[in-house]
Amino acid sequence: MSSAANDKRGHLESEFQRRMHDAEASPSPDLWARIDHDLTIQESKHYKGRMVWYRQLAAACFVLFILAGALLTYTYKTTGSIDAGIAAMQLNTETGGAAAEMATTGAAPVAPGMAESATSALEQSMAAAAEVTTAPLSDAVAVAKATINRTDTKQAVEQSINTNASGDYRRVQSAGTAQYNLHATTDKPSAAIAAGQSSYGGNATGSETNHSSHPAAKSLFDIGRPFFQTARQAITAVPPAFRNTADQSMATETGRTRSLVELSQKAVTDYLSKEEKTAEQTLALNGPVAESTGKADQEAKKEGRWSLGLGYAPSYFNQNIQMPGQMMGTVSRYSLLAGGPDKSAQTSENMNEARDEFEANTDPAFSYAAEVKAGLRLGKKIKLLAGLGFTQNTARTKSSYIIKQFLFKPGTDERVEMPGTTVFLPSLNNNFTTDSLSVSKTDKFYVNYRYRHITVPVGLQYEGNISNNWFWYTSGGVAANFLIETTVMASTSEVKDVQYDHNDNSPFRKVQFSGNVSAGFGKRISNAVSVTAGPEFRGYLNSLLAEPDKALAPQGNPYTIGVNMSVNYNLGQK
Amino acid sequence: MNLFKKPKSEEDILIEGCIAGKREMQRLLYEMYSKKMMAVCLRYAPTTFEAEDIMQDAFVKVFSHLQNFKKDCPLEFWIRKIMVNTALKHLRSKQLLTVSHEADEVANLPSDNVNLSDYSMDELLGMIQSLAPRYRMVFNLYAIEGYNHKEIGEMLGISEGTSKSQYSRARAILQSMLTRHEKNYNEHVISS
């Protein structure tokens, strides 16, 4: 309240100040009751306001939860429904249709008229089998999908066993296997039909011809032998009127199915895992298909676009605050040069030593950052990350000097001692605001500087595979850091702790931007869960002080160096 | 971290209790400072009722914002500052801080050599309260609180020069009152 410039005071001022400054007057007895009433009303309002805020927060969380749930449900339900649709369609259009027909019309009714057509179709089957060996990835996927149909087909076939007294069990049982070939040749449906027709006659020569003509064709024929029988049965079951257009209709159906299969890779992954044994058998028998199945695996791994991550980064923090070359000049209190507070030569010497000590003994201390991040995969290897975090940055000084400041009560020589401090806080201003000060040396003590921020990070992460389960990553990003608390704590009772909350008028910057880079290695624990670890550098783009130009101490940009560890969960993978 | 734990002073405990909303602690704090602060409010307000209104508002503010007290100055200074600011706000809201033209009587300034020991507190307070609001403000802030004219200008929204001129008028009025009071007193003594 006092001012050093307020020096033109006359006798009148002094007399009034002497009489009035510490004067006392009794307020009316009911004044406290009025204040009490006001406080009660205010607390009630505050409570109500807080309740409203909590209610709004709860409502916002609920809405956010519903929106996120709806988004996720929509994302995965859409894919799921396509898969379900495909499965149903395949059952109805291919297996179901054929098998049902088989079941109702008899499993193996050999139509004599078909024998002639089988001989001519044999030639087509040769070409078809050759083409099948170069079947693309979708064929491999279709192989796995076929297994779903097998069960239904088996049921249908079992029915056919019951209805057909002369049915051959081996032939009927293989109807399920036949579906492999039916799907495996989806790329060339007409050829598949042709292959089926070729074996319709039950001609062993035809099979042998295929075996010897092409190794791939041989393998297909090994698997496909039952198929031919079943296809024959299916073709037999087709009404004659429909038989002429069978090639065309089958091609149309399989073409549609193929496009949908490409959209439903997730379902395929599930089926593949369930029928792993069957797939392995297929892989063992057929090289190119095995290769394409591996690709399908990789495709499946790319499924989950969204991920959630929890990160923790212990680090060391350098607040990068230097000490000024000289804190102040020695000026007498009574001097006309009002350049600073009154102090002794010993204090000046101690001040310099305190300054040097701060420079030498200020070290980074343990700090940490904790973040929750959501990730969105933008490409095969790039992920966009955004989230919310908390950081606590700490630095520490080992000190042995205490600064005591004094104010003179206006118009009197009475000295009021201000709480003790260290060289740090005064260096953040452009001058001491007190009338006099002394710097005294004491036992060693610690001063802790702690800065707490709420951070909103955004960044990109690039990943590359090292092996099946290991990968490397590099990431970079920026973050907005909102200062919520600054504390300067000393381990001696002679120095007063100072704490600034987020809404206090503090010399520190309220919002600070930072950039961070990190690189390291990761391991996939499962398809859904992975862990990463690697060094991280986080540099702040501004100084800690809001107005560094006005501070005595030179201000650099603070930074942290630490290790970033995180656990990530990929949504949509099991 | 035990290293940084320090024993709390009585004032710290009192402040923490007030921040926590403990009414008995708030009452204790009120009783500690109410008399001094009432005197402050009386210097700024024209009447006792208004002074109590100011003090009521100010103490509610004290308890509401006590968590912002940084302990970088004595608590009494902080409370007094809130009292002064609340008084200024109160008078500003009542538009009492306009300049009046009452200082015609300061033509013959008496000497500066005054002794207030003979005056009672009520008499001195009465003199200050009889000043026009703006003069009363400037006089209180400069002569008693110890602000300089630059700070007063910022607080009242006037220039430093205006603050100086208003203060010199207020001072002259008070000197005139003191002289008149002394003259009356002397005449009374002589006649008796």
Domains defined for chain A, CATH in brackets: 76-301 (no CATH), 304-570 (2.40.160.20)
Facing A491 at nearest CB: one of B3, B26, B113:
B3
Q: Does B36 contact chain A (CB < 8 Å)? A: yes
Report the pLDDT averaged over residues A501-506: 80
pLDDT score at B113: 64
Site of tokens 């031919």: A228
Q: Does B184 contact chain A (CB < 8 Å)? A: no
- Residues B7, A493: C-beta atoms closer than 8 Å: yes
- Residues B71, A496: C-beta atoms closer than 8 Å: yes
Report the pLDDT averaged over residues A44-48: 80
Q: Does B85 contact chain A (CB < 8 Å)? A: no
Instruction: Give every CB contact of residue B157 below 8 A, 6+ residues apart in sequence.
Output: none
Please give the CATH number for the structural domain made up of B98-192: 1.10.10.10
Q: Which residue of B has its CA nearest to A505?
A: B68
* Structure confidence by residue, pLDDT tens digits, A339-374: 455 556 677 778 788 888 888 888 888 899 999 988
Q: Around Cβ A49, how many Cβ atoms within 10 Å?
A: 10
- Residues A11, B146: C-beta atoms closer than 8 Å: no
A167 pLDDT exceeds 90?
Answer: no
Dist CA A485 CA A454 (whole Å): 10
* Least confidently predicted of A23-37, A56-70, A111-125, A387-401: A111-125
Distance from CA of A533 to the nearest CA of B (A): 29
Distance from CA of A29 to the nearest CA of B (A): 11
* Least confidently predicted of A9-18, A122-131, A525-534: A122-131
- Residues A15, B35: C-beta atoms closer than 8 Å: no
Report the pLDDT averaged over residues A212-239: 48
For residue B152, which residues of chain A lie inside 8 Å, CB to CB? none
Site of tokens 């209790």: B17
Nearest to A268 by CA among A85, A89, A142: A142
A300 pLDDT exceeds 50?
Answer: no
- Residues B114, A11: C-beta atoms closer than 8 Å: yes
Site of tokens 């020991």: B117
Report the pLDDT averaged over residues A170-186: 41
Q: Does B86 contact chain A (CB < 8 Å)? A: no
pLDDT score at A34: 93
Facing B116 at nearest CB: one of A16, A24, A498:
A16
With a cut of 70, which residues of chain B have pLDDT below it?
Answer: 1-6, 95-114, 183, 185-186, 188-192
For residue B169, which residues of chain A lie inside 8 Å, CB to CB? none
Q: Which residue of B has its CA nearest to A418?
A: B73
Beta-carbon contacts below 8 Å between A and B: 135
Q: What percent of chain A has pLDDT over 70?
A: 53
- Residues B147, A6: C-beta atoms closer than 8 Å: yes
pLDDT score at A367: 92
* Structure confidence by residue, pLDDT tens digits, A546-574: 888 777 778 889 999 999 999 998 876 54
Distance from CA of B26 to the nearest CA of A (A): 9
Indicate which of B60, B61, B78 best probes the interface with A, i.e. most A CBs within 10 Å of its own CB. Answer: B60
Dist CA B54 CA B80 (whole Å): 12
- Residues B35, A24: C-beta atoms closer than 8 Å: yes
Report the pLDDT averaged over residues A316-333: 67
Reported as half-sphere exposure (CB side, CA atoms, 13 A), residue A204 has a value of: 0
Nearest to A143 by CA among A278, A317, A257: A278
Residue of higher predicted confidence among A176 and A428: A428
Dist CA A6 CA A11 (whole Å): 14
Q: Does B42 contact chain A (CB < 8 Å)? A: yes
Phi, psi of A539 (to 5 degrees): -110, 135
Q: Around Cβ A340, how many Cβ atoms within 10 Å?
A: 20
Q: Would the pTM count as exceeding 0.95?
A: no
SS3 A524: strand
Residue of higher predicted confidence among A243 and B55: B55
How long is chain A? 574
The distance of Cα B34 from the centroid of its chain, to the nearest Å, equals 13
How far is the CA of B138 from the CAs of A17, A89, A494, in angstroms? Answer: 14, 92, 38
Which of the listed ranges A109-123, A301-315, A480-494, B103-117 does the model predict with the highest average pLDDT? A480-494
Which residue ranges make up each domain of chain B? 9-96, 98-192
Dist CA B147 CA A6 (whole Å): 7
pLDDT score at A35: 93
| Per CATH, domain B9-96 is 1.10.1740.10 | yes
